[in-house]
Amino acid sequence: GALIVADRFCFGSFPGRQEIILSDTEDALTQVCRWYLQNTECPRQSAMHRVKYRNDHVAQLVHDFKADGAIYEQMKFCDYWAYERMVGSHVLREEYGYPVLSVDRPYAIGSSGQLRTRVQAFVESIEIKKIHKKQGGAK
């Protein structure tokens, strides 16, 4: 019952949609490489201004796509995403008020049943909050 409206993986639809404008000042490969290093969404760029930018960007995506919540997924053993997932899920929940599911996912798909169950429970919790809100109850 959920619809994924955006992803913000290092290699996902964001930042993959931006046009890279090239000039004649140097070779195209150098310009493309520089652009991806400077505009990456990957948490390996961990300067505090980049962390804040990524948190704000996720909140903006949730807002723009009118999403009911966000899922922070970390590939197991990626320390950069472990930090990003911990900070991002806290910031989105506490500072922006969005429901967040935080998932540590292994590379192998053997645990897809567990992941499916967690996502279904997350979606159901959002639906229950909507029903309570319509009935004038707690958020």
pLDDT above 60 for 5: yes
Residues 6+ apart with CB under 8 A from 40: 10, 15
Residue 23 is predicted with a pLDDT of 95
Distance CA 128, CA 20 (A): 43
Q: Can you say how many angstroms the Cα of residue 16 is from the centroid of all Cα atoms in its chain? A: 14
DSSP the chain: ---------TTSHHHHTS-----SSS-HHHHHHHHHHHS---TT---HHHHHHHHHHHHHHHHHTT-S-EEEEEETT-HHHHHHHHHHHHHHHHTS---EEEEEE-SSGGGHHHHHHHHHHHHHHHHHHHHHHHTT---
Average pLDDT of the chain to the nearest whole number: 82
pLDDT digits (tens, 9 = 90+) for 74-112: 777 878 777 778 888 888 889 888 999 988 877 666 667
Distance CA 35, CA 117 (A): 38
Q: Is the peptide bond before 15 cis (omega within 30 degrees of 0)?
A: yes
Residue 11 is predicted with a pLDDT of 62
If one compares 135 and 82, the residue with the highest pLDDT of the two is 135
Average pLDDT of the segment spanning 35-45: 77
